[in-house]
Amino acid sequence: MRERALDLLACPACGGDLLLAYASKYEQKEVIDGQLTCKKCVREYGITGGIPRFVDLAKLESDKAETAENFGWQWTHFTQEDPRYSDQLLGWLQPVKPEFFSGKTILEGGCGKGRHTKLAAEWGAADVVGVDMGDGVESAFALTRHLPNVHIVQADIFKLPVKRAFDYAFSVGVLHHTPDPRRAFTSLVSKVKPGGHASAWVYGAENNEWITNYVDPIRTGFTSQIRQPLLYQLSKLPTLGLFLTTKLVYRPVNAISRSAASRLFYNDYLSHLASFGWREQHNIVFDHLVAPTAFYISKKEFERWWQEIGAEDVQITWHNRNSWCGFGRVA
């Protein structure tokens, strides 16, 4: 943790300013081990491995702890980087462009292994705070520690340990895995300064009935319950099916005839996946099977979230015909 992060951090319990009570280990001007104390309520929060810790996984509600653990395993094992991450992120954040990040103070709700936090920093953000609840923070910290404007924090999206100090907050693929996606969204957006912006990307209810009907029972009843190393191996089988289908069917058909391709099942998404290699596809399959909680949000419901926070100039975009991207100005 760099000390400049204290300008953005706040006590998640009372909102008070935090003080670096002591640092027992420094590396390159970064606090590796130490302790933060709230100036107001005097609660204490540890810093270990360079990361301020605001969540005690042992004391967390069981559904949140399970999600944190399962995704945490994912992000400490699928640490690959892919050159398509930036295009992918821009797809989820549309209509935002890299220039938009320049000079802004940014919050990412659910940073996983930090791949988007890193991009935000590289696109010129003044400061980026990446928050995640699980062990993914260790990977995120390692991936971004050369970037002085990145601050990785372990915390709960419902109790964010930050001030209302951000120009832009975004969350991709995370809200729908929390026990209450709408409340997680409201919590994230509450940290954006008036006039700032927010983006969210969520699974759509529309067009995903086949997942909710056939994949979800397997996910909730089996794959999210087994040990992650076993799921890692088992998920190679559906990945093989996906890999061969996208490479041997979706890619060539899309290259030859757009009208024929449009008749293929789930074409927008599967043709998009066709550009990814084995490792990334395995990661995507694993990601779909590991989550203990997943909600599919209808457009109507998603629009309501934005209305409820009083957002202006809201743009909702249908992405790959299976998910929703939202962008708006926070009042």
Cβ closest to Zn ion, residue 154 vs residue 223: 154
Tokens of 9: 């951090």
Q: Min. distance of Cβ 13 from Zn ion in angstroms?
A: 5
The DSSP code sequence of 197-229 is EEEEEEEBSTT-HHIIIIIHHHIIIIITTS-HH
Q: How far is CA 38 from CA 47, 107, 171, 324, in A?
A: 13, 21, 27, 38
Pattern of binders to Zn ion over 42-81, x per CB under 5 A? Answer: -x--------------------------------------
Cα separation, 170 vs 72, whole angstroms = 20
297's CB contacts (< 8 A; 6+ apart) are 176, 181, 202, 203, 204, 205, 324
Cβ closest to Zn ion, residue 15 vs residue 98: 15
Of 237, 223, 269, which Cα lies nearest the Cα of 250? 269
Selected from 16, 49, 91, 124, the binder of Zn ion by CB under 5 A is 16
Cβ closest to Zn ion, residue 15 vs residue 124: 15
Tokens of 252: 């060539």
Stretch in the footprint of Zn ion (CB under 5 A) among 4-12, 103-111, 273-281, 283-291: 4-12
Stretch in the footprint of Zn ion (CB under 5 A) among 15-23, 81-89, 111-119, 287-295: 15-23
Cβ closest to Zn ion, residue 40 vs residue 182: 40
Pattern of binders to Zn ion over 238-267, x per CB under 5 A? Answer: ------------------------------
**DSSP letter assigned to residue 179:** S
Of 18, 46, 45, 16, which Cα lies nearest the Cα of 32? 46
Pattern of binders to Zn ion over 207-236, x per CB under 5 A? Answer: ------------------------------
Selected from 5, 8, 11, 65, the binder of Zn ion by CB under 5 A is 11
Q: Give φ, ψ of 41 to 5 degrees.
A: -105, 0
Cβ closest to Zn ion, residue 6 vs residue 249: 6
Pattern of binders to Zn ion over 312-331, x per CB under 5 A? Answer: --------------------
The CA-based angle 251-252-256, given to 5 degrees, is: 120
Cβ closest to Zn ion, residue 20 vs residue 284: 20
Cα separation, 156 vs 65, whole angstroms = 10
Cα separation, 180 vs 100, whole angstroms = 29
Selected from 2, 6, 13, 317, the binder of Zn ion by CB under 5 A is 13
Selected from 14, 218, 230, 248, the binder of Zn ion by CB under 5 A is 14
Pattern of binders to Zn ion over 23-42, x per CB under 5 A? Answer: ---------------x-xx-
Q: Is 273 in the site for Zn ion (CB under 5 A)?
A: no
Of 140, 173, 168, which Cα lies nearest the Cα of 154? 140
Q: Could you list the residues that contact Zn ion (CB under 5 A)?
A: 11, 13-14, 16, 38, 40-41, 43
